[in-house]
Amino acid sequence: MLQSLLFLLVAGAGSWFAWKGFSRVWANIHLGKPETTTGDTGERWRNVLLVAFGQQKMFKNWLPAVLHLFIYLAFVVTQVELIEIFVDGIFGTHRFFAPYLGGFYTFVISSIEVLSVLAFVATLAFLSRRNLLRIARFQKPELKGFPSRDANLILLGEIVLIIGIFCMNGGDKVLQSRGVEHYHLTGNFAVSTWLGPALFGGLSDAAVIAIERFGWWLHIFTVFGFLCYLPYSKHLHIILAFPNTWYARLSAKGHMENMPEIQKEVRIMMGLDQPDGNAPTELPEFGANDVLSLSWKNILQAYSCTECGRCTAACPANQTGKKLSPRKVMMDVRDRAEEVGAAIASGQYTKENYNDGKSLFDRITTEELHACTTCNACVEACPVLINPLDIILQMRRHEILTQSAGPAEWLPMFNAIENAGAAWAMSEPREAWRG
């Protein structure tokens, strides 16, 4: 009875804190402007199954992909045991499913143990890649401070979870072999059947029970701790990768969305349309300068970013020493959404009248925006279909069309297009070259 009450208390507190965190993320994503979702539903499901669930794009680099797969599969399959832990915690039972599933139960737990060992190896490899081998894409300026600690904390949490699993299972196997009441036989597990006796076989029954209960509670506290921490971590991608791949644009990667107002003006300039005398004289806001003028899908992508750095590693501008880092662009959008969302939640502003004197341009400099060649290398590299280029283009459009700013070397081209209808300032008619 006491265990059930303590479990319900921990579960209730953990769920409440997690709900608050996820509600904050939900509200921040919806700071963005509405954007409709069109396109083939079948293709969207294909993206979810192959890219998010199947890790398809990860395997362009097979070594980290295989290591990541070990952790991913361990995380997914361990949820089966977690369901049983919840049942046992609520009703005060022990290994509730074992009598009903028989040999299949043994197979499932054995699979979890094998995957946990592989995940342990992968976790050590990832810690080494970040902290000992110091892979270049993990040493960029935007990963200094919390982003680096965040990655290490989650990896260390994975190790703690694995310790909990093997303390629980290993202690259980020793107690089963001794016929201790409440610890009924469950068959031979792949790892803990020999690991448990090797580690705990010389201890008293009371000590082994304490170790088994320690592993059980360590598992619970680690899971709820992770759940509460997740909304503040880059590892939120384990949830948001699925909706993000669903809502990803299905158009070709090189396709750029037209601005209807500009398209209409160009058509009038080329004689394809007539001016509309009833059109409003006030110019609209072009592009985006803050999260409130981005699409909610842009902000969803920012929260889905894994900070893996594949986009930055693939970026030719970054490779040649320029300041642009597509990963930093996504991190800056997420951090700005957090800042704006916190100010609105405090009652200081509303979404409709928000003006704190800041914008995304305070985080993403024009030097970064101008360095982009729109080659789509970052879009192609992202394992969860994030599109940093779309945000860069929207900010450049705002800078040039709304702020009437931009690099000096671009202005002659803009003037030539406006005055002559071509990028080259020539006196000949536009169609003359075809003759």
Tens of pLDDT, residues 107-164? 999 999 999 999 999 999 999 999 999 888 999 999 999 999 999 999 999 999 999 9
User: Among the residues of 270-325, which ranges form H helices?
Assistant: 296-304, 310-314, 316-319
Distance of alpha carbon 212 from alpha carbon 176, whole angstroms:
12
- Res 425: pLDDT: 64
Between CA 16 and CA 9 the distance in angstroms is: 11
pLDDT < 50 stretches in the chain: none
Q: Pull the structure tokens for residue 354.
A: 């928000």
Q: Give the per-residue pLDDT at 105.
A: 92
Q: What is the pLDDT of residue 429?
A: 62
**Would you state the pLDDT for residue 432?**
65
Which residues are within 8 A (CB) of 261 and not within 5 positions of it... i.e. 6 or more apart? 283, 284, 286
Q: How far apart are CA 310 and CA 422, in angstroms?
A: 37
Domain spanning 258-404, CATH architecture = Orthogonal Bundle (1.10)
Question: Which pLDDT belongs to residue 426?
Answer: 65
**Distance (Å, rounded) from C-alpha 140 to C-alpha 318?**
10
**Cβ–Cβ < 8 Å for 175, 212:** yes
How far apart (Å, rounded) are the C-alpha atoms in residues 331 and 146?
A: 12
Taking the CA atoms of 211, 181, 189 and 4 in sequence, report the sign of the dihedral they define. Answer: negative
| pLDDT for the residue 427 | 62
d(CA 172, CA 88) in angstroms, rounded, equals 14
CA distance linking residue 343 with residue 215, whole number of Å: 41
Give the pLDDT of residue 435.
Answer: 55
